[in-house]
């Protein structure tokens, strides 16, 4: 870990002029809970960074600016030597994120991001975990909507199950009850890049289907993991289900959290995610429509002749929901956990902004602050998940500052 006495800053926001980076910078400027925070904004364009400072107003007049390109290892090393924590919003991470992870791992600088690119996470673990362990750097991917509500939602449910039932739930199902908010160009670009990689490398499709793809090699389960691939009816919620697009990353993060906590949820723990589309004929039609739309998007994105059409139709990098849409967005997700002897618990996680950006920026900010101020030195260097490294301290921050709630709804 970077020497806190030598570092100029508690944290640096890298990619501060990106769509979510700007929201994050505003959140840090306005957050009364972090007055006195020593931080800086960083990126490759001095003009854009200074414009961001101007847009943030008088409170950001003295905010330091650090110039560094995502591919410039020397500049990123200089950046890391000045801070204890880096928050990165520069995606798609598979295209632009590796050099910063490498440098953080080598310099002992704690790091978090909001990637949802599971294939890239696996590569980073394989290439740089040994360096992070040696230097003491704590690397925490997936600190946005994917995957904090899922990862911390399961962690919260299991805490409550242990307190109530005396044991964890062996099976947990997450269901998105409602989510309102728009997509940004950065998220779409990441999804298109994943489809592009799969199209170029058919072996990657098999890897992406492995629910334990980012777990340590020794962590596996003999139980077949559930997976919603088409429209299904959920008797428990009396609603139709469709695949949840973020489930492909969230399930992997939850399983890695279980592994890094010594299989605390159980060695044969099962988990899946889906989105509820409603009841009756309307819900069924919506579920099948969503399945068709997702299939068409990923098929078109994987094939070069049609990819350009998709890229023309979707939001471009730097574009995203308006401030009003962020403010009016929200989400409500439910978790059903069952113990091996049939006891059941239902919990929910809610957020008060659009999931992808308004809420994601706040979650990412609190994860970075948690790394900077709450993480004990006995959390060793390496690649962690939000639940396995930040756990209860992050939960407190999310509820106190980021507009999230975690509640027990029912026990049986």
The predicted structure's pLDDT at residue 5: 52
Query: Which comes out higher in pLDDT, residue 223 or 263?
Result: 263
Cα–Cα distance between 274 and 99 in angstroms, integer?
34
Cα–Cα distance between 315 and 182 in angstroms, integer?
10
**9-145+359-399 belongs to which homologous superfamily?**
NAD(P)-binding Rossmann-like Domain (3.40.50.720)
Query: Which comes out higher in pLDDT, residue 185 or 105?
Result: 105
Q: In 3-state terms, what secondary structure has residue 14?
A: strand
The predicted structure's pLDDT at residue 314: 56
Query: Which comes out higher in pLDDT, residue 209 or 279?
Result: 279
The predicted structure's pLDDT at residue 323: 81
Q: What is the pTM of this model?
A: 0.93
Instruction: Indicate the burial class of 165 (C-beta count within 10 angstroms; 0-12, 13-18, 19 or more).
Output: middle
The predicted structure's pLDDT at residue 335: 98
The predicted structure's pLDDT at residue 2: 55
CA dihedral of residues 196, 18, 314, 207 (deg, nearest 10)? 30
The predicted structure's pLDDT at residue 296: 82
Cα–Cα distance between 33 and 401 in angstroms, integer?
8
> Span 377-383, mean pLDDT?
92
Q: Is the pLDDT of residue 199 over 90?
A: no
């Amino acid at each position: 870990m970077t020497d806190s006495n030598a570092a100029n800053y508690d944290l640096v926001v890298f990619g501060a002029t990106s769509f979510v980076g700007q929201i994050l910078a505003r959140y840090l400027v306005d957050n009364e809970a972090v007055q006195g925070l020593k931080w800086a904004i960083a990126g490759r364009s001095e003009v854009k960074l200074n414009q961001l400072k101007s847009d943030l107003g008088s409170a950001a007049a003295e905010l330091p600016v650090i110039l560094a390109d995502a591919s410039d290892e020397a500049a990123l090393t200089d950046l890391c030597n000045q801070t204890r924590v880096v928050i990165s919003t520069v995606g798609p991470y598979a295209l632009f994120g590796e050099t910063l992870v490498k440098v953080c791992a080598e310099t002992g600088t704690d790091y978090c991001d909001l990637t949802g690119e599971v294939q890239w996470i696996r590569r980073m673990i394989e290439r740089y975990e040994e360096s992070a362990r040696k230097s003491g750097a704590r690397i925490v991917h997936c600190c946005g909507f994917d995957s904090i509500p899922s990862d911390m939602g399961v962690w919260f449910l299991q805490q409550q199950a242990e307190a109530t039932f005396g044991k964890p739930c062996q099976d947990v199902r997450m269901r998105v009850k409602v989510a309102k908010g728009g997509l940004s160009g950065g998220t779409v670009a990441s999804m298109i890049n994943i489809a592009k990689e799969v199209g170029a490398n058919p072996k990657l499709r098999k890897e992406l289907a492995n629910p334990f793809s980012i777990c340590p090699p020794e962590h596996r389960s003999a139980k077949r993991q559930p997976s919603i691939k088409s429209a299904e009816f959920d008797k428990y919620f009396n609603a139709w289900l469709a695949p949840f697009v973020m489930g492909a990353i969230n399930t992997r993060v939850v399983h890695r959290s279980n592994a890094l906590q010594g299989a605390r949820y159980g060695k044969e723990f099962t988990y899946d995610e889906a989105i509820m589309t409603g009841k009756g004929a309307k819900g069924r039609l919506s579920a099948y429509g969503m399945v068709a739309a997702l299939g068409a998007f990923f098929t078109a994105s994987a094939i070069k002749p049609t990819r350009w059409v998709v890229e023309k139709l979707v939001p471009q990098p730097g574009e995203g929901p308006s401030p009003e849409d962020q403010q009016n967005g929200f989400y409500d997700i439910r978790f059903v956990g069952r113990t091996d002897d049939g006891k059941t618990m239902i919990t929910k996680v809610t957020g008060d902004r659009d999931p992808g950006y308004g809420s994601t920026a706040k979650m990412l900010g609190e994860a970075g602050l948690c790394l900077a101020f709450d993480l004990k030195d006995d959390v060793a260097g390496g690649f962690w998940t939000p639940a396995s490294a930040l756990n209860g301290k992050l939960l407190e921050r999310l509820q106190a500052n980021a507009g999230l709630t975690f509640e027990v709804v029912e026990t049986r």
